[in-house]
Amino acid sequence: MFMRKILFPLALVVWMVCACAPQPTAMPSVQEQVLVTASPSPSPAPTLSPAPSPTETTAPVPSTGQILPFTQITRVDALHGWGVRDTRILRTTDGGHTWQDVTPADLHSEMTVTLSGYFPSADEAWACLPSPERYDAGTLFTTRDGGQTWQSAPAPFGWANFFRAPESSQTVWAQVSMQGLVELHRTRDGGQTWELVMRSTAGDEDTPGRLPVGMHTQWQIAARDEQTLWAVGISPAVDGLYLYRSDDSGVRWERHLLDLPESPSGFYAEGLRFFDSQTGAFSIFYGGEAYQRAFFITRDGGTSWQLTPGIPAVGNTWTAPDALHWWVWDGTSLRVSQDGGWTWQTAPANPPEAPAFLVFSDALTGWAVQYDEKGHRLFGTTDGAQTWKLLAEDAP
């Protein structure tokens, strides 16, 4: 993957860890798809297509089989968390010591794929299974009782990044990113029906109100509230790092300029999120021979963004359970910030092994996941990284 002026080797590695989606073996041309465009009106727009009544299924008996490696992992609180392993959905209620397989009984695929999961609470989970034949079709499974029962419904996409606004419970967006294509879908009825909000393809760069899309664009979208969305990423279409804002729920977009540091090797952005309606952040990599990580932070809903001092960092190893308590692996040490990324201290103890990524649910409890040729291991801390314990491991 190559990008003019902006891509450097680390970006490819990081992006593959945190945002790669499986590609179906057969994909129709995007020009062949007929999609309904949303109205910018705040009132509910017509859905993409009428969906049949959702199907309810019962989760199978808990399994004690292999749980690692996780392809996605979310820690909700000190006790509860979710994990995805290809097409299996796992849940823990004891901080990661044991895991229950709560995969819906009718979720199966004849090809090797990875579910896209969304786990906003200890009881609620969303998982989309891509169609083996086309990119714009899949089956969405949802539960609101911790995986005891599931509902399924068709979805107009196969793999997506789901998100909500911090103070919203009804609206869920699904961001679809593919080579030369980005789409934003929205549901207000728990995923039974979907509305296409925005669709941009390569070549739309000069169209007013569109997000710029090159053949190698990487981007993330987050919602501040029901109306205000932000998108951050890197794209050759705008020759570097971009930040865009929408005030009509994602229909039209305008660029917000940033004051960027010097970076001979370009930039990479990831982790855009809003903790509440006013506080948001995203991480950037920049530098030359030695890479730095810094954060753009807003405390006024995005009206202004401030850049924190840079620190050494490698990989996708930033976790921020709230607006103040952040954790970063810098390549040799675990660092913790208690003021939202402005100052950093060395954590009391490193995980036993260098983590591939970190997942904290609060200032005290977190997981560190390690993948290498020796296998896969999950470590946990419940005392703010004073101590770490091996919770699960699998041999290769």
How much is the average pLDDT of 36-48? 36
- Over its C-alpha atoms, the chain yields an Rg (Å, rounded) of 20
Q: Which of 107-116, 147-156, 286-295 has the lowest mean pLDDT?
A: 107-116
How much is the average pLDDT of 317-324? 91
Which pLDDT tens digit goes with each residue over 211-241? 888 666 678 999 999 999 999 988 654 557 8
| Other CB atoms within 10 A of residue 174 CB | 27
Which pLDDT tens digit goes with each residue over 325-334? 999 998 889 9
268 versus 139: the higher-pLDDT residue is 139
Q: Which domain holds residue 276?
A: 1-21+159-312
Q: Which of 87-101, 178-192, 237-251 has the lowest mean pLDDT?
A: 237-251
Determine contact, residues 107/117, Cβ cutoff 8 Å: no
Q: Provide, rounded to the nearest whole percent, the portion of the chain with pLDDT above 90.
A: 54
Residue 287 above 60 pLDDT? yes
Give residue 46's Cα distance to chain centre. Answer: 27
**Is residue 222 assigned to a domain?**
yes
**Is residue 387 assigned to a domain?**
no
Total domains in the chain come to 1
pLDDT reported for residue 66: 58
**Is residue 307 assigned to a domain?**
yes
**Is residue 247 assigned to a domain?**
yes
Which pLDDT tens digit goes with each residue over 342-372? 999 999 999 998 898 899 999 999 999 988 7
pTM over 0.75: yes
**Is residue 396 assigned to a domain?**
no
Residue in the block written with tokens 């919770």? 391
Q: Which of 64-78, 294-308, 353-367, 370-384 has the lowest mean pLDDT?
A: 64-78
**Is residue 341 assigned to a domain?**
no
Cβ neighbours of residue 222 under 8 Å, at least 6 residues apart? 163, 229, 230, 272, 273, 274, 280
66 versus 336: the higher-pLDDT residue is 336
Cβ neighbours of residue 311 under 8 Å, at least 6 residues apart? 292, 293, 294, 328, 330, 335, 344
Q: What is the DSSP string of 26-59?
A: ----GGG---PPPPS-SSPPPPSSPPPPPEEEE-
Q: How far apart are CA 55 and CA 342, in angstroms?
A: 48
**Is residue 33 assigned to a domain?**
no
Determine contact, residues 389/380, Cβ cutoff 8 Å: yes
173: confidence class by pLDDT, cuts 50, 70, 90: very high
Residue 38 above 70 pLDDT? no
**Is residue 38 assigned to a domain?**
no
